[in-house]
Amino acid sequence: MNWQDKDVYSGISEELLAAFDEGKTNAEETMMVLKALSENEVLQEEYFLSKQLDAIMEMETDDDIEVLPIMAMAAESEGNLCNFQCETYILQRRGITADHDQLANEAAKNYWLRDKGTPLHSIGRILEHCGLIVMRRYGAEIADIKRAVNAKHDVVVVLNNNKLRGDEISDNIAYHTVVVDSIVDNEICIYNPAVEDKLEHYDIATFEKAWKDAKSYMVRVKGRDFDYNPQPIDLDDIELTLDLLDLREAIAENAHEVWADQRQEEGWTYGPERNDQKKQHPDMVPYSMLPESEKEYDRRMAFDTIKLMKKLGYDIVKHSDSKVYKNLMHRLQNIDNVGKCKCGADIFRDQIYCSTCGEKLDWKDFFNLNDRNE
């Protein structure tokens, strides 16, 4: 039995409450729902319970996310050096002279090369160190490799060496780095540091099966130019729960604060238009005063950062609400909805006690106080 069956507040329909929850009510309807919630404990309980259930239902399982193996080790060759050998092979092919011992020391010092191999996200670091441009991409396709090869770029890919060798049964993925040498018709030629003859030929279908197990990871290498086509990781399969949406807003505001603080240290101040000579910028204002277009830029950055962490297999766990976190989220969620306590202090709709005088409050008091302020 729901709250309407009990006829506890007949003025609020389920449709109106749903519209309120989705932010689709006008000012009058919003105030009507808020007052109903403030005056009816049963309605409050039903409403907040439904919000909690919605959050639980929206939580994704690990199976819903195609986690990218950035920390997997490319290590399927003697000494776990397959990637190191691939990168030095590219340097030799490009005629770039480099001391292999120095490169090995540099790779070890920066943890690009570890005892168990090279993490997938570190493939190409040696080439970057030698002045080449490296672009990494998951979810690539054969057509992407063809375009790169035709453009005379070097292509490093990560494969499941077990499937490359014809083992279709084993569930174990043996990550292995190879360099694509050429593609002709339905055949691909690769430089494989794990074999004596180095160059091997495979049909495209076999190659793709082995490549897919490494999420079709491709590293494209080219010389210095300004031909750049951004291809961020696809995050469409990641859904965020309500608590992480709150985190997104907190990150967005703090990102703006960090940016503004750095600008201020460099001598920048507010100006109605950007002026690099005078060091004036229209965004040198608190986050709440930014136009929505600028807020959305910060929100997208925060949103995609959180999603990327989950895509890469990291769990975000909030152990407790710190005082700083509570105050920040309180301000973000209620910045346009402030009342005044009898003592004159600002109060928000969800406060139980006034933070200044300690007087106990409830939602009904809040509306009465706002009426007096008006």
- pLDDT score of 71: 65
Q: Characterize the bridge pairing of strands 199-203 and 175-184.
A: unpaired
Specify if 63 maps to a domain: no
- Same domain? 134 vs 91: yes
Specify if 355 maps to a domain: yes
Ranges of beta strands (E only) in 138-267 are 154-160, 175-184, 187-191, 199-203, 218-222
Q: How many CB atoms lie within 10 A of CB 120?
A: 23
Positive/negative CA dihedral, 311, 314, 315, 321: negative
- pLDDT score of 229: 67
Task: Pull the structure tokens for residue 13.
Answer: 């329909």
- Same domain? 218 vs 77: yes
- pLDDT score of 91: 93
Task: Pull the structure tokens for residue 171.
Answer: 């569930």
CA distance 288 to 104: 50
Specify if 159 maps to a domain: yes
CA distance 17 to 24: 10
Q: Please state the pTM of the whole predicted model.
A: 0.55
- pLDDT score of 7: 42
Mapping DSSP to helix (H, G, I), strand (E, B) and coil, where does residue 242 land?
A: helix
- pLDDT score of 80: 76
- Same domain? 123 vs 157: yes
- Same domain? 265 vs 124: no
For residue range 91-116, list pLDDT tens digits in order: 999 998 888 889 989 888 888 888 78
Q: How many CB atoms lie within 10 A of CB 34?
A: 17
Q: How many CB atoms lie within 10 A of CB 154?
A: 26
Domain that holds residue 148: 73-222
Cβ 271 vs Cβ 278: under 8 Å: yes
Domain boundary among 194, 222, 250: 222
- Same domain? 78 vs 52: no
Q: What does the CA dihedral 345, 349, 350, 353 come to, rounded to 10 degrees?
A: 30
Specify if 33 maps to a domain: yes
Burial 217-253 (b: 16+ CB within 10 A, else e): bbbbbbeeeeeeeeeebeeeebebbeebebbbbebbb
* Helix, strand, coil percent values for the chain (each to nearest 5): 45, 15, 40
- Same domain? 289 vs 359: no
Specify if 311 maps to a domain: no
- Same domain? 163 vs 216: yes
Domain boundary among 34, 58, 82: 58
- Same domain? 292 vs 364: no
- pLDDT score of 53: 47
Task: Pull the structure tokens for residue 172.
Answer: 């174990």
- Same domain? 206 vs 91: yes
- Same domain? 179 vs 255: no
Cβ 164 vs Cβ 206: under 8 Å: yes
- What is the number of structural domains in the chain? 4
CATH of the domain at 211: 3.90.70.10
Domain boundary among 278, 301, 324: 301
Positive/negative CA dihedral, 176, 177, 179, 184: positive
CA distance 178 to 334: 54
Selection from 87, 92, 89, 133 nearest residue 107 by Cα:
87
Specify if 326 maps to a domain: no
Quote the crossing angle between the two packed helices 242-265 and 292-311, to the nearest 10°. Answer: 120
Specify if 53 maps to a domain: yes
- Same domain? 253 vs 364: no
- pLDDT score of 346: 66
- pLDDT score of 58: 47
Specify if 116 maps to a domain: yes
Q: Where are the alpha helices (DSSP H) in 59-94?
A: 82-93
- pLDDT score of 248: 79
- Same domain? 79 vs 214: yes
- pLDDT score of 159: 92
Give pLDDT < 50 ranges for the chain: 1-10, 52-53, 55-62, 369, 372-373
